[in-house]
A and B are shown apart, each in its own frame.
Chain A
């Protein structure tokens, strides 16, 4: 079956512009995560959606970052007024259920470059 997909695969933008990154999780997966991976920094948790519950936004680095998940499926991560330090690979992962040890399936990521 299809895995987690993300689009675009690469995005180059100018400082100050807004960007939207999309994640299509595995069908039927109720949990969805966004992470940021910078060179030498590992994976940094951004936001977590579980079913119809309020999202856990505790990892968002500033109010320029927001995310939504429509219909419990597709998710969009929006970064407003991008800065050069936002350059990173943004990874999305989905998980079947509410058990923390269930496998998270990652997408290939979107590489964002802010000039």
Chain B
């Protein structure tokens, strides 16, 4: 069974602070996705990273895929209350048709 561990589980910060959340596995994934989920809604895809060492930027969000394709990080610069939500990482393996999700990091950004 492939597992994805996310840390921290909870993060409460003030507006304007920077933060990093992590997604780690002992397994190699062919690609990895990050989602954000708001209360009462389904997850929404933020980014897909495919190449080991790849870095993608989405405005204030920076995503990195580890060189060995076993881990990933999400860095948010100058967090805003609108960034509040549950951040989920999901691994894709070429041998499977489905995603393996981590349990998520719940982020609360206070004004």
Residues of chain A at the chain B interface (Cβ within 8 Å): 4, 33, 35, 40-45, 48, 50, 56, 59, 91, 93, 100-101, 103-109
Give the shortest distance, in Å, between B46 (CB) and chain A (any CB). Answer: 10
B44 A40 Cβ-Cβ under 8 A: no
The answer on a CB contact under 8 Å between A106 and B88 is no
4 closest pairs, A vs B, by CB? A106-B42, A42-B103, A43-B101, A42-B101
Contact B88 A108 (CB under 8 A): no
Most A Cβ at <10 Å: residue of B97, B103, B104: B97
A104 touches B45 (CB 8 A): yes
A101 and B98: CB pair below 8 A? no
**Once the chains bind, are A42 and B102 in contact (CB under 8 Å)?**
yes
Task: Tell me whether B92 is interfacial, beta carbon within 8 Å.
Answer: yes
Q: Which residues of B contact A44 (CB under 8 A)?
A: 101
Given contacts A42-B88, A42-B103, A101-B50, contact A109 B42 (CB under 8 A): yes
- Bound complex: CA A59 to CA B96 (Å): 12
* A108-B99 in contact (CB<8A): no
Given A43-B88, A106-B43, A108-B41: A101 in contact with B101 (beta carbons within 8 A)? no
